[in-house]
């Protein structure tokens, strides 16, 4: 029987960052995943470390947008009709959390994590000799109408209050930054402090390599085998059973698979999303990720090509892929930027693990000694992985947490 101080379940960006922070604090740590580090949701994102995030994604505030989604005409969201009965309570809570006052509250509660996001990546990437994957050109959000830009006023006011750098640009100024874009938009905001990742898989792998170099143990195993073997927790791995006094569950969208078995039900939903890479046409190139706000897609320059990521899809996590949103946004994306041939035959599908209040759970599990939770990072798991790693490692080792962890407690659902 092998023993370790702490088992971290899930080697996505969140679990890998946690494991690295723990091992740096002198704990013996095993990081367990059924596949390689970073091959789950953390593989397929838009690669933006969005320390600039203020308001979370919100339920549509106007009926026209909602009607287009319901009629399946919107690129912003898609849904499986059969999934609606299951997701309705979550959507009702999401709508309540999307009221203007609640959005401001969320922005304030999440600020300490976002404010720390870039610095934590910078230091982990430096240690892991992975800074070559980080781009420091910010990210550019494009708006096709003046009304869309006017609607940003509350966000820009908060940005000023929080001290988050951004530059409002007219079309020509934006085109000076990104000459390969077509002038099909009206204006833009350049969030200059955001960092982009050219290869999210390689970045998580580099953090995992750093974890191993510090003495951490990486193992393949099925997290669903987690059970109490008093007084410890036990997980079955390819190397045999592994015991530890503490376990961190950081399985992203798969976390409920384990928690349900322990009698713990937290209201997590998934917002699925797709990506596909495209080869460049001629010399066309982007210098930073670009969001087309009206269409909800991002074009991100990456190692494998230009990665086009979609908005959200409400469907069961394991339901078959229905990448209709890629079809919906492709004409607009091609109009904006000269995308060449697709690199892969099929689109990649991932599932953002989301709570309706857009806050992750980073806390002890209720009523389960030695069980810790770190999941539900929604649209910002890449961004928040290393900051989450620091926070939970500080909590677990009795250090003073860098911010008040209460807003991220699982207790808020009980």
Ligand X SMILES: Cc1cc2nc3c(=O)[nH]c(=O)nc-3n(C[C@H](O)[C@H](O)[C@H](O)COP(=O)(O)OP(=O)(O)OC[C@H]3O[C@@H](n4cnc5c(N)ncnc54)[C@H](O)[C@@H]3O)c2cc1C
* Binding positions for ligand X, rule: CB under 6 A: 10-15, 33-35, 39-42, 44-48, 50, 222-224, 250-254, 257, 273, 275, 309, 350, 352, 375, 377-383
The nearer residue to ligand X, 67 or 229, going by C-beta atoms, is: 229
Sheet holding 134-135, edge to edge: 48-49, 195-197, 134-135
The nearer residue to ligand X, 181 or 219, going by C-beta atoms, is: 219
For residue 208, the minimal CB distance to ligand X (Å) is 10
For residue 282, the minimal CB distance to ligand X (Å) is 26
Please state, in angstroms and as integers, the Cα–Cα distance from residue 313 to each residue in 74, 267, 320, following that order.
11, 17, 12
- Report d(CA 16, CA 342) in Å as an integer: 31
For residue 283, the minimal CB distance to ligand X (Å) is 25
The nearer residue to ligand X, 175 or 212, going by C-beta atoms, is: 212
Asked whether 167 and 108 are in contact (CB, 8 A), the reply is no
Strands 217-220 and 29-33 turn out to be parallel
Q: How many residues does the chain have?
A: 414
Crossing angle, helix 84-97 and helix 100-127, to 10 degrees?
A: 100
The nearer residue to ligand X, 205 or 232, going by C-beta atoms, is: 205
Beta carbons within 10 angstroms of residue 285's beta carbon: 13
For residue 386, the minimal CB distance to ligand X (Å) is 11
For residue 153, the minimal CB distance to ligand X (Å) is 24
The nearer residue to ligand X, 13 or 259, going by C-beta atoms, is: 13
- Report d(CA 42, CA 204) in Å as an integer: 8
For residue 379, the minimal CB distance to ligand X (Å) is 5
For residue 204, the minimal CB distance to ligand X (Å) is 8
For residue 411, the minimal CB distance to ligand X (Å) is 20
Residues contacting residue 74 through CB under 8 Å, at least 6 positions apart: 65, 68, 328
The nearer residue to ligand X, 105 or 257, going by C-beta atoms, is: 257
For residue 196, the minimal CB distance to ligand X (Å) is 8
The nearer residue to ligand X, 269 or 283, going by C-beta atoms, is: 269
Rounded-to-5 percentages of helix, strand, coil across the chain = 40, 25, 35
In terms of Cα–Cα distance, which of 253, 264, 250 is closest to 378? Answer: 253
Residues contacting residue 299 through CB under 8 Å, at least 6 positions apart: 286, 289, 290, 292, 306, 307, 308, 333, 336, 337, 339
- Report d(CA 129, CA 224) in Å as an integer: 33
In terms of Cα–Cα distance, which of 259, 269, 207, 260 is closest to 372? Answer: 259
The nearer residue to ligand X, 252 or 370, going by C-beta atoms, is: 252
The nearer residue to ligand X, 11 or 286, going by C-beta atoms, is: 11
The nearer residue to ligand X, 9 or 103, going by C-beta atoms, is: 9
For residue 219, the minimal CB distance to ligand X (Å) is 10
Instruction: List, as one string, the DSSP characters of 65-124.
Output: HHHHHHTT--SSEEE-GGGHHHHHHHHHHHHHHTSHHHHHHHHHHHHHHHHHHHHHHHHH
């Amino acid at each position: 029987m092998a023993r370790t101080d702490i088992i971290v379940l899930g080697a996505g960006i969140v679990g890998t960052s946690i494991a690295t922070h723990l091992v740096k604090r002198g704990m013996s740590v095993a990081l367990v995943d059924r596949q390689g580090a970073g091959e789950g949701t953390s593989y397929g994102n838009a690669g933006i470390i969005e320390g600039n995030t203020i308001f979370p994604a919100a339920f549509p505030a106007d009926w026209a947008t909602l009607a287009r989604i319901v009629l399946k005409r919107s690129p912003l969201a898609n849904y499986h009709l059969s999934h609606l009965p299951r997701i309705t309570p979550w959507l009702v809570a999401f709508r309540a959390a999307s009221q203007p006052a609640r959005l401001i509250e969320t922005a304030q509660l999440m600020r300490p994590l976002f404010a720390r996001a870039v610095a934590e990546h910078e230091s982990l990437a430096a240690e892991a000799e992975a800074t070559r994957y980080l781009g420091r050109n910010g990210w550019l959000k494009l708006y096709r109408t003046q009304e869309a830009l006017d609607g940003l006023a509350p966000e820009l006011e908060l940005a000023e209050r929080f001290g988050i750098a951004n530059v409002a640009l007219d079309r020509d100024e934006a085109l000076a930054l990104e000459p390969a874009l077509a002038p099909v938009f009206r204006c833009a905001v350049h969030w200059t402090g955001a960092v982009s990742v050219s290869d999210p898989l390689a970045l998580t792998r580099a953090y995992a390599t750093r974890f191993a170099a510090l003495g951490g143990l990486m193992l393949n195993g099925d997290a669903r085998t987690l059970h109490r073997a008093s007084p410890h927790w036990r997980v079955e791995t390819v190397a045999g059973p592994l015991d530890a006094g503490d376990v961190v569950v950081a399985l992203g969208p798969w976390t409920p698979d384990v928690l349900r078995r322990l009698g713990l039900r937290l209201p997590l939903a998934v917002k699925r999303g797709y990506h596909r890479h495209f080869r460049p046409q001629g010399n066309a190139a982007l210098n930073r990720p670009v969001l087309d706000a009206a269409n909800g897609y991002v074009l991100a320059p990456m190692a494998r090509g230009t990665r086009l990521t979609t908005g959200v899809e409400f469907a069961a996590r394991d339901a078959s892929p229905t990448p209709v949103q890629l079809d919906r946004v492709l004409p607009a994306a091609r109009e904006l930027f000269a995308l060449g041939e697709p690199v892969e035959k099929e689109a990649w599908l991932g599932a953002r693990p989301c709570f309706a209040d857009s806050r992750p759970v980073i806390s002890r599990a209720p009523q389960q000694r030695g069980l810790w939770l770190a999941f539900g990072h929604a649209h910002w798991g890449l961004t928040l992985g290393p900051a989450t790693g620091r926070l939970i490692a500080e909590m677990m080792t009795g250090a003073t947490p860098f911010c008040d962890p209460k807003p991220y407690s699982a207790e808020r659902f009980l």
